[in-house]
C-alpha cells in the first residue's frame, strides 16, 4: 500500500540494482510522516488505535466489481498535510499503525495477485554505506528482506479482511457523512468533514438476526471501538490549537481537512 504523502519515492526492489542497498533500522526519525493527515488502519488494529486516534471511514473508489468501497483510517490532523502526532522527528503516540510501522517498506501491486516489495528511496536511512543489507552477495534475499516480505504478506491479508468488514457495513447502509465542528479559543470555529461514521440510529434499527451476526463475526465490536475512538477528536483540537499558538507570527493558517 503506497501513500503519496509518506512514500515520496517508492522503488521496487531488484536483486541486481539494489544488491548493495542497506537500511538504517529501526526508524527513529518520523519527520517523513509530518504531512500525513490520515492513514489506513486494519480491523485488527482497532483495539490499539482507538486509544490514540479518531478512527473514521473514507470513500476508497470502486472495487473490481464496480461497487463503492470504503476504508477505515486513523486521523492524525485537522488540516491538509498536517500530522499532529509528529513533533520534530518524534512520534507522540504509543501505537504506530501497521502501514506506518512498515516504513520505509511498502507494497505495489504489479498484477491481479502479484505484489512487489518497495522501499522509499527518499528516506535518508536508505544508503549503501551502513545499516542492514537487503540482499546477500549472491543476490538472494537477506534475513531483513525475508522477514519484511512475510510481514507485508500478513499486512495484505489484514487489508483484505478489513475490506470485507467495510463491504458489510456498506451493504447494511449504516455509514453516514460525519461533520465535526469545534469552537476554538477566541470563539472561532474549526470544521472537519469528508469522513464517514457508523450511524448509531441505523445500527439500533437493524434486525436482531443481523445484530447477532455482527456480534459473532466481530464487526459489532469494531463498530463500538470506532465510536470510542471519536473522543480523540478533542485531543486533536487541543494539539491543533497548541501548534497554531506556537507558529511564527504571520505564518499562513493551515487549510481545513476534508
Please write down the HEC assignment for all residues of the chain. Answer: CCCCCCCCCEEECCCCCCCCCEECCCCCCCHHHCCCCEEECCHHHHHHHCCCCCEEEEEEEECCCCCEEEEEEEECCCECCCCCCEECCEECCCCCCHHHHCCCEEEEECCCCCEEEEEECCCCCEECCCCEECECCCCCECHHHHHHHHHHHHHHHHHHHHHHHHHHHHHHCCEEEEEEEEECCCCCEEEEEEEEEECHHHHHCCCHHHHHHHHHCCHHHHHHHHHHHHHHHHHHHHHHHHHHHHCCCCCCCCCECC
CA distances, 238 to each of 17, 78, 91, 190, 244 (Å): 47, 11, 17, 12, 10
Residue with C-alpha cell 480491523?
43
Q: For the chain, what are the domain ranges?
A: 10-245
Mean pLDDT of 120-130: 93
Q: Please state, for a pLDDT cut of 70, what percent of the chain lies above it.
A: 93
User: What's the pLDDT tens digit per position in 79-97?
Assistant: 889 999 999 999 999 999 9
> 49: which residues sit within 8 A by CB, 6+ positions away?
41, 55, 74, 95, 97, 229
Cell numbers linked to 33 = 510522516
Q: How far is C-alpha 138 from the chain's CA centre?
A: 36
| Positive or negative: CA dihedral 29, 35, 40, 46 | positive
Q: Which candidate, 88, 58, 14, 8, places its Cα nearest to that of 193? A: 58
Q: What is the pLDDT of residue 251?
A: 52
The CA distance from 69 to 64, in Å, is 10
23 contacts 132 by C-beta, under 8 angstroms: yes
User: What's the pLDDT tens digit per position in 41-57?
Assistant: 999 999 999 999 999 99
1: pLDDT strictly greater than 90:
no
Q: Using 50, 70 and 90 to split pLDDT, how confident is the model at 253?
A: low
CA distances, 71 to each of 59, 61, 162, 203, 241 (Å): 7, 10, 8, 18, 28
Asked which of 62-71, 179-188, 213-222 is least confident by mean pLDDT, the reply is 179-188
Amino acid at each position: 500500500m503506497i501513500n503519496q504523502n509518506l512514500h515520496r519515492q517508492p522503488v521496487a526492489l531488484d536483486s541486481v540494482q539494489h544488491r548493495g542497498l542497506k537500511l538504517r533500522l529501526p526508524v527513529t526519525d518520523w519527520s517523513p510522516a509530518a504531512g500525513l493527515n490520515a492513514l489506513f488502519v486494519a480491523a485488527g488494529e482497532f483495539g490499539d488505535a482507538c486509544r490514540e486516534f479518531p478512527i473514521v471511514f473514507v470513500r476508497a473508489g470502486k472495487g473490481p466489481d464496480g461497487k463503492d468501497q470504503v476504508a477505515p483510517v486513523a486521523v492524525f490532523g485537522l488540516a491538509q498535510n498536517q500530522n499532529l502526532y509528529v513533533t520534530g522527528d518524534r512520534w507522540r503516540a504509543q501505537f504506530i499503525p501497521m502501514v506506518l510501522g512498515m516504513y520505509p517498506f511498502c507494497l505495489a501491486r504489479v498484477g491481479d495477485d502479484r505484489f512487489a516489495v518497495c522501499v522509499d528511496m527518499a528516506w535518508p536511512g536508505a544508503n549503501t554505506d551502513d545499516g542492514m543489507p537487503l540482499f546477500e552477495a549472491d543476490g538472494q534475499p537477506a534475513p531483513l528482506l525475508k522477514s519484511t516480505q512475510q510481514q507485508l504478506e500478513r499486512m495484505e491479508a489484514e487489508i483484505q479482511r478489513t475490506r470485507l468488514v467495510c463491504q458489510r457495513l456498506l451493504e447494511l447502509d449504516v455509514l453516514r457523512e460525519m461533520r465535526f465542528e469545534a469552537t476554538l479559543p477566541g470563539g472561532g470555529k474549526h470544521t472537519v468533514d469528508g469522513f464517514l461514521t457508523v450511524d448509531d440510529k441505523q445500527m439500533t434499527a437493524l434486525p436482531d438476526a443481523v445484530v447477532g451476526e455482527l456480534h459473532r463475526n466481530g464487526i459489532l465490536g469494531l463498530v463500538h471501538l470506532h465510536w470510542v475512538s471519536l473522543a480523540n477528536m478533542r485531543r486533536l483540537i487541543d494539539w491543533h490549537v497548541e501548534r497554531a499558538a506556537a507558529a511564527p507570527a504571520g505564518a499562513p493558517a493551515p487549510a481545513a481537512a476534508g
